[in-house]
Amino acid sequence: MSYKNILITKEQTIATITINRPQKLNALNKSTIQELHQAFSALEQNPDIKAIILTGSGEKAFVAGADIAEFADFSIEEGIQLSAQGQDILFNFVENLKVPVIAALNGFALGGGLELAMACHIRVAADTAKMGLPEVSLGVIPGYGGTQRLPQLIGKGRAMEMILTAAMITADEAYRMGLVNHVVAPEELLAYCNEIAQKIIKNSPSAISMAMTAINANYKEGENGFETEIKSFGRCFGTVDFKEGTQAFIEKRKAVFTGE
Ligand code: COA
């Protein structure tokens, strides 16, 4: 599969997706969203891939938002469709992926860009990155899950302030609020994300996927996270990874997980 707006590289079991429209600050147009969906979907189905890093090309932006030029003359129905489809094929899709995704925020993460980072499982920012949900300054609101995921990550009061003021925050402010897990020098960003990925890929892929499902369950309407945890915990006992993990511990050797 060849892509126009994204680049994919693979190093052993870690894949990196780079959103590659630097002349538009990697803004998410429709075809980029489609390509990201296809790429995430293909990587999830590839049993060799155990972690994904998502970043933006160039030094300036991770993603400067949804492509404003593309939706400027949309009707109400088209607006609903844009939000619903985007949430379905990209933002919720990434959040519910079986493979963990680490967002490497190399610059502006605004609007849909920050929403995409928030749909990822872990966020690391370069100290030069700036984040914000500026939608109300355009007469619209965050439509790719931002009104829901930002309060989940930083609390309702802070999320209200960020969304209502449309203000940008620095990487350090984002770190203090718990919006990003780490802040590093720009030149260390990808290596740092890779280090986190290296720690993840040592573990059981099936257990990782079930842990993410259980954590996400707390935030899903009508789902009881504790019950999901009980079921997922039980399912682990039926996996090859569990047999291997426990056997390896008893035999004092390193486990070799297959994800089965
Ligand atoms: N959608 C479409 N195009 C975008 C974009 C977006 N969200 N963000 C940036 N671009 C384009 C600009 O239109 C410009 O294209 P051009 O050179 O063809 O005119 C190019 O990217 C560079 O952006 P520019 O604004 O010139 O860079 P800057 O350094 O002066 O400002 C930002 C950087 C991020 C502050 C500014 O681009 C911006 O405010 N972008 C929109 C952010 C936003 O509101 N996002 C939420 C959308 S819902």
pLDDT in tens, 24-80: 999 999 999 999 999 999 999 999 999 999 999 999 999 999 999 999 999 999 999
Task: Write out the two tokens for 125.
Answer: 């920012």
How much is the pLDDT for 2?
Answer: 87
Q: Is the CB of 28 under 6 A from ligand 1?
A: no
Q: Of 19, 20, 25, which is best to mutate to test ligand 1, by the most ligand atoms within 8 angstroms of its C-beta?
A: 25
pLDDT (mean) for 234-240: 97
How much is the pLDDT for 221?
Answer: 87
**How far is residue 34's CA from residue 19's CA, in Å, rounded to a whole number?**
12
Catalytic residue flag (residue 187): no
**How far is residue 56's CA from residue 37's CA, in Å, rounded to a whole number?**
16
Catalytic residue flag (residue 115): yes
Closest atom of ligand 1 to 133 CA is 46
Could you read off the pLDDT of 139-167 as tens digits, one per residue? 999 999 999 999 999 999 999 999 999 99
**How far is residue 19's CA from residue 5's CA, in Å, rounded to a whole number?**
6
Q: Is the CB of 182 under 6 A from ligand 1?
A: no
How much is the pLDDT for 1?
Answer: 74
Sheet containing 182-184: give its strands across.
6-11, 14-19, 51-56, 101-105, 122-126, 182-184
pLDDT (mean) for 187-204: 98
**How far is residue 126's CA from residue 130's CA, in Å, rounded to a whole number?**
9
pTM: 0.97
Q: Is the CB of 27 under 6 A from ligand 1?
A: yes
Whole-number Å distance, alpha carbon 25 to ligand 1 midpoint, is 6
In the chain, what's the furthest Cα-to-Cα distance? 65
